[in-house]
Amino acid sequence: MAIEFELSKGMQTARDMARMFAETYVRPYALESDQLCGPHPKFIEACKQFRLGTGQLSGVDGVDAPKTPKPGKLRETNRMRLVAAEELAWGDATAALNMPGPGLGGPPVQFTGTPEQRERFMSVFKPDEYKFGAYALTEPDAGSDAKNLKTLCRKEGDVWVLNGSKIYITNGKRAEWTVVFATIDPALGRAGHRTFVVEKGTPGFSCPKVEKKMGLRASETAEQVFEECRVPAENLLGGEAHYEAKSKGGFKTAMKTFDATRPLVAVMAVGIARAAYEIARDWVQEHYALSQHTHRYHRLVDTLCEMEHDIRTARLLSYKAAYLLDRELPNAKESSMSKAYAGSMVQRVTSQAIELLGPEGVREHRLVEKLYRDQKVYDIFEGTGQIQRLVISRRLFANARD
Ligand SMILES: Cc1cc2nc3c(=O)[nH]c(=O)nc-3n(C[C@H](O)[C@H](O)[C@H](O)COP(=O)(O)OP(=O)(O)OC[C@H]3O[C@@H](n4cnc5c(N)ncnc54)[C@H](O)[C@@H]3O)c2cc1C
């Protein structure tokens, strides 16, 4: 399959804009927002000033429906998101998660929502406001095993009543609305799944806990509880017809989201790794007379080469997954490959960066220390490394494609 290695003009513009934003409004506040355990006020101000409230720069917006490319041109929305997301993550691992907009809740509303639902839920996000959407799949007994949902939903007249709880939900407390996955009957497995948009303030919906984490501290991760939570029938994504037509419609909505977002998470890991690599490279250059060809220095340069090689490999894998998405081709295997590789790559590279700095690397005021703490989640959320490898292995022998 043909693939271009050059960034198009559009992609270059997206990268340059995101880079400017990351250099000016993200990186300078990264350490402080880690201590604040939330986005820095200057970052919030900049998001409003640059009218980013619908999430365009985050790469995880899902706002724009697929655009028809000009004749002879390929769609490149997803690759554009990738180049921007790498820059933001280079600035701070939490930047994309703190960028306003529907976040991970965007793709399911776009893929499955009716035109009225898309209009209603997406219009909540205004360019000059700082508001969020969220996506709630994970439960105490269902994360990797997504089909095992226990959050129950039952129809009562013109409302659905939800009971259950969700954990580790990004922006789960501050979100204006959350896409919530529930089941009419756990015994039905995937066929029982239904997808709702639950709005902030709905009676019976609460967020009792915000997690304290090792890394990604500036990103909110919350528990959500539904107790006889009454959701209007018109908030069932896609309407009843969607689940009648597709018996596993709810489960497919959850998984389709990941095909689009896993390459993004992968490329954010690339941004974090690149940040660590640059710190290590500058440190080595500053502290060692590399022109003296001692064995020790060869080893330092070797490590830098390995790091760069690893980063580039991960970037190409994520670009390939997004390229397939842009062509509306199946990409589940490539998407999982990019996420699995980047999740382990970023751990290797940030660890190597700390090794190169020596004890200086683990000091609290050093960005590389924060990068090492932040990176771990990139191998956990949106499916752990092990789960990505399961997805890949299922596809290795069936319909093999390059
Ligand atoms: C900071 C953060 C933000 C998050 N944001 C969100 C969010 O916005 N929305 C949301 O829905 N979820 C979110 N999550 C949850 C995350 O997606 C899950 O924690 C993750 O998918 C793992 O699922 P689990 O918690 O059920 O772990 P488990 O499934 O219990 O996994 C525990 C371990 O067992 C391994 N394992 C499980 N099953 C298998 C298997 N079959 N084969 C091999 N190994 C296996 C896993 O890889 C893992 O190492 C977030 C998590 C974190 C940490």
pLDDT at site 68: 53
Predicted confidence at residue 258, as pLDDT, reads 87
401 has a pLDDT exceeding 80: no
- Same domain as 329, residue 227: no
Pairing mode of beta strands 177-183, 221-232: unpaired
Predicted pLDDT at 295: 72
Q: What pLDDT is stored for residue 6 in this prediction?
A: 85
Indicate if the pLDDT at residue 402 is higher than 50.
no
The DSSP 8-state label assigned to residue 227 in this structure reads E
Distance CA 74, CA 323 (A): 9
Regarding whether 97 and 137 lie in a shared domain, the answer is no
343 belongs to a structural domain: yes
Q: For residue 136, which atom of ligand 1 is closest to its CA?
A: 11
47 and 95 co-located in one domain: yes
Co-location of 91 and 190 in the same domain: no
Both 264 and 239 in one domain: the answer is: no
Whether 263 and 242 map to the same domain: the answer is no
Tens digit of each residue's pLDDT (9 = 90 or more) over 319-347: 999 999 999 899 999 999 999 999 999 99
Q: Would 28 be classed as within a structural domain?
A: yes
CB of 324 within 8 A of CB of 334? yes
What residue numbers bound the domain in which 312 lies? 251-396
Q: Whose CA is nearest to atom 40 of ligand 1?
A: 387
Q: Is residue 2 part of a domain?
A: no
Pocket lining: 265 vs ligand 1, CB cutoff 6 Å: no
Same domain, 240 and 260: no
Place of tokens 């996420």: 339
User: Tens of pLDDT along 194-253?
Assistant: 999 999 999 999 999 999 999 999 999 999 999 999 999 999 999 999 888 766 777 777
Specify the ligand 1 atom closest to the Cα of 134. Answer: 8
Q: H-helix or E-strand containing 349?
A: helix 332-357
pLDDT digits (tens, 9 = 90+) for 254-273: 787 888 899 999 999 999 99
The CATH code of the domain that includes 55 is 1.10.540.10
Residue 19 lies in a domain: yes
Q: Based on the domain organization, do 140 and 233 belong to the same domain?
A: yes
Could you tell me if the CB of 135 is within 6 A of ligand 1? yes
Q: How many domains does the chain have?
A: 3
Q: Which of 179-183, 211-215, 360-364 has the lowest mean pLDDT?
A: 360-364
Q: In testing the pocket of ligand 1, which one of 171, 380, 390, 392 has its CB within 8 Å of the most ligand atoms?
A: 380
Residue identifier of the C-alpha nearest atom 29 of ligand 1: 144
Cβ proximity of 248 and 193 under 8 Å: yes
Question: Of 112, 141, 159, which residue sits at a domain end?
Answer: 112
- Nearest in space to 60 (alpha carbons), one of 226, 258, 295: 258
Q: How far is the CA of 136 from the centre of ligand 1 (A)?
A: 12
In a domain, 367, yes or no: yes
> For ligand 1, is residue 383 a contact (CB within 6 Å)?
yes
Cβ(381) – ligand 1 distance below 6 Å: yes
Q: Residue 257 has what pLDDT?
A: 81
Residues 170 and 303 in one domain: no
Flag whether pLDDT at 37 surpasses 50. yes
Q: Whose CA is nearest to atom 28 of ligand 1?
A: 144
Report if residue 362 sits inside a domain. yes
pLDDT at 58 over 60: no
Q: What does the block give as tokens for 303?
A: 């490590």
- Provide the pLDDT confidence category of residue 59 given band limits of 50, 70 and 90: very low
Q: Amino acid identity, residue 288? A: Y
List b or e across 216-234, with b for residues whose CB sees 16 or more CB atoms inside 10 angstroms: bbbbbbbbbbbeebbbeee
> In this structure, is residue 118 part of a structural domain?
no
The domain boundary, picked from 246, 269, 288, lies at 246
Residue 149, pLDDT > 70, answer yes
What mean pLDDT is reported for the chain?
91
Residue 150's CATH number: 2.40.110.10
Given 84, 112, 140, the domain boundary residue is 112
Report whether residue 169 contacts ligand 1, using a CB cutoff of 6 Å: yes
Catalytic site positions: 382
CATH number, domain with residue 279: 1.20.140.10
Check whether residue 106 and residue 29 sit in a common domain: yes
Q: Which atom of ligand 1 is nearest the CA belonging to 104?
A: 8
Q: Is 378 a pocket residue for ligand 1 (Cβ < 6 Å)?
A: no
Whether residues 69 and 202 share a domain: the answer is: no
Is the model's pLDDT at 34 over the cut of 60?
yes
* Beta carbons of 154 and 161 less than 8 angstroms apart: yes
Same domain membership, residue 278 and residue 380:
yes
| 331 found inside a domain | yes
